[in-house]
Amino acid sequence: MRSGFPASFTKNRERLIEHDAIIELFNHIVETAGRKGWLSGEHFSVDGTLIQAWASHRSFVRKDGSDDDAGNDSTGSTSFKGQTRSNDTHASRTDGDARLYRKGKTASELRYMGHTLSDNRHGLIANAMVTQADGFAEREAAKVMIRDARQATASPDAAVTLGADKGYDAQEFVQACQDMGVIPHVAQNTSGRRSAVPDAIAASEGYALSQRKRKLIEQGFGWAKTVGGIRQVMVRGLKRVDHLFVLTMTAYNLTRMRSLGQIRPQGL
């Protein structure tokens, strides 16, 4: 019956999460793409995107339980104007894993951060993960994903490259890449500072190619938010959001693979 569908769906979703079936599916699709020659296996790009949590500002209250600092405005709604709130002192009652975060000109919202590692040959997603949102998450997630990619290369001597935007131009990140045997094709940030990316790398032909190819990763984020509905998730908790994000990126890969001519609707 229709009325029983939501409950059945929830149970199935929990079963998928419990057994990491979504991760296995994602890996299977990536392996299939690799067998078909659609992955370079050596040249990658990385980026992150903000994901709005399924929690409101009103749920973001003091950890010590003293919620009376939130006043009411003239409409009777909770108002936080003029109040100082941070992740150190406050947490969401709705989703305790979400973090209040802003980036650039965006407003502070309860968010997660999604990260993808794309293969430069066709822009297929080679790895995906979600972390809590903070100023270090993008580089830390990138190190985890490129380390996995480095270990998966057929030869330890393979020239693995990693393209990224200026936000990844930090000495510790560039050094971590080099320590892993990964050439950091990170966009140089020279605005009032010296870039951590060596000029010799930035002047190479491969670097210029990586900078062009890394823009393919934005297609995955765009699809995930407009078609996959990942702009604001409707699940709570880091593990559930992570699995939903990976499942969405699995669907994106399937869509891309279909356009590459491998996967076609049955019966056509």
Label residue 77 by pLDDT band (50, 70, 90): very low
Compute how many other C-beta atoms are within 10 angstroms of the C-beta atom of residue 107: 5
**pLDDT cut 90: percent of the chain above it:** 72
Question: How does pLDDT run across 30-42, given as a tens digit for each residue?
Answer: 999 999 999 999 9
| Residues 148-205 pLDDT 10s | 999 988 788 889 999 999 999 999 999 999 999 999 999 999 999 999 999 999 999 9
Do the Cβ atoms of 92 and 112 come closer than 8 Å? no
pLDDT, residue 235, reads: 95
- Residues 172-206: b if buried by 16+ CB within 10 A, e if exposed: ebbebbeebebbbbbbbbeeeeebbbeeebbeeee
**CATH 3.30.420.10 residue ranges for the chain:** 15-55+109-259
Q: At what angle do helices 21-35 and 5-18 cross, to 10 degrees?
A: 70
Structure letter (DSSP) for residue 108: P
Percentage of residues of the chain with pLDDT beyond 70? 84
- CB neighbourhood size of 255 (10 A): 15
Span of 4-13, 28-37, 205-214, 224-233 with lowest mean pLDDT: 4-13
In CATH terms, the superfamily for domain 15-55+109-259 is Ribonuclease H-like superfamily/Ribonuclease H (3.30.420.10)
In the 8-state DSSP scheme, what is residue 96?
A: T
The alpha carbon torsion through 250, 256, 258, 261 (nearest 10 deg) reads: -140
Give pLDDT, residue 166.
Answer: 96
Q: Say whether 168 sits in a helix, a strand or coil.
A: helix
Tell me the pairing of strands 125-132 and 160-164: unpaired
Q: Which two tokens stand for residue 116?
A: 């993808």
Q: For 232, which DSSP code?
A: B
